Amino acid sequence: MASTVGVLDNRVLHRPFIEASQHDPIGWFTMDISALHTIQALASSIAVRRLQPLQTLYEAGVPGDSIFCILSGTIQLTWEGGGQECFEEGQVFGVGALVMPDHRRHATAQALTACDVLEMNREEFLFAVQESPMFAVELLASLEQRLRRSQRNEPEA
């Protein structure tokens, strides 16, 4: 896979080009991999939280003002109204906390495996977007993937 090189906070950042395939014609499913490279570059300047299996990251209903980016491991969100969703390496969750004032978490986040999770507040997120604008596009692509998956899982009306 070809790569591009950029500089982020005086560090070299190697990022793969987003490649399309017959099954993924516009490259949506490779976006998480690119986001992971951005997240890993940020990890040296933003706090990384280590979680043990079954450790709770946050509970539903608590205030939230940061998003989480998974460097390794698997996190499961269990929604207040029922349902679950798993997130793995390179994926981001908790985005509502950056766009909603006085945000409260809608799910409980629990590590299914040992995890390294990057926690980004609004200021750190805006810095990441400023330094690597593709990070915002990658995040939007991730949200689009989640929306498509949720629509496929809903019963037809």
Domains of the chain: 3-152 (2.60.120.10)
68, 94 Cβ separation under 8 angstroms: yes
Tens of pLDDT, residue by residue over 33-59, are 556 666 777 767 787 899 999 999 999
Q: Is 1 helix (H, G, I), strand (E, B) or coil?
A: coil
Structure tokens at 109: 């986040």
pTM value?
Answer: 0.69
Tens of pLDDT, residue by residue over 91-130, are 889 988 888 888 999 999 999 999 999 999 888 888 888 8
Please report, as a single letter, which amino acid is at residue 37: H
